[in-house]
Structure 1
Amino acid sequence: MLEQLINADIQLFTFLNGLHAPWLDPVMWWISARTPWIPFYVFLVVMMILRLRWKRGLIAIVSIVLVVLIADRFTSGFMKPYFERPRPSHEKLIRDKVHVLKDRNGNEYRGGAYGFASSHSANAFGMAMFMFLLFRGRWRWMFVWAFVVAYSRIYLGVHYPGDIIVGGLVGILAAWGVFRGYQLVSPSIAKEDT
């Protein structure tokens, strides 16, 4: 059963990674990078403070940072070293068939050795889920953003679809748990704001 899942994951990866075009390479590289998203993160912070007032907004900001820390540490700090599943770009059987990009120095970007599960996916889906819960379903569009960020990792050849799916689930669960804590703290803060 596990072998069938792994084979299906490799086949789906091969198909999705094969959907590349020269004009899309820099776009996916940009989407996968962290620094281009800083203005977006600033926008999220501003929206939380404007919509939730100062104290609740700060608690929400701390909460979303906690979601990312939990999701990132669980995937990168526990899952990757525990499962030791090579990234597609490092997998001996397929590495030469994987579409990878080159960095500014002309070196092929292949990521670290292990890829299960994707911390990019965990972080993006964790943020999307927290915002979705925080604003009562009005921020659904963030799941599209999370999906695009996650897909960029397949495009770059550094994650299998299974890495992305499991990472996304880790992020969603982290967001759900942290949001429950936020709900416990938030009512007392709301009284102080009025």
Structure 2
Amino acid sequence: MITDPEPCSEAVEDDAPLGLCPYHLQIAHDWVAHDAGVSDLLPTPCLACGARLGVRYPSGWLCAVCEWRLGDIPDGESVAPRVDVVYYLRYGDRIKIGTSVNPRQRFAGIRHDELLAFERGNRLTERKRHAQFAAHRLDRSEWFAASDEILAHIDVLRAGIDDPWAQYALWRSQQAALHG
């Protein structure tokens, strides 16, 4: 333990959380950060999940979402986490409601203008959505007319989500963290 031979004579700021001058408050912060880490943006996206938020320790960075150590390279034995999603694609004035565990690969084979949203769920959830929006279904396909009812549902799914792909990456990282 380090002690100053004389008490500090520097002024303590009125809104300081402890009775320490700015210099000694910074020393206390650095000491705590050594064990607890400091949350900050990662220098590069996490290779495991794509997240940008990390925790910086003296020994290096960890992803704040999946705890992957920055700089570690995923090996070939890592199994990608399975996340079933129901997707909503727009093509013109039509919306496709489908499901996939590998949406990037799936979308490569579907003509579309835009990914509108993801919803966690499997074939059962997809069937529920097809039944829910049956009045707007085009023929017997997975395509639906872009009705106010469907667009309202998509708005609920997208609330607070700027990029559906970022949401999907978060779900994958959460799944990876749960299964080590």
Report if TM-score (shorter chain) is over 0.5. no
Q: RCO greater where, 1 or 2, for CA within 8 Å and sep 6 or more?
A: 1
Which TM bucket (shorter chain)?
A: under 0.3
Radius of gyration: which is bigger? 2
Output the TM-score relative to the length of structure 2: 0.22
Flag the structure with higher strand content: 2
Flag the structure with higher helix content: 1
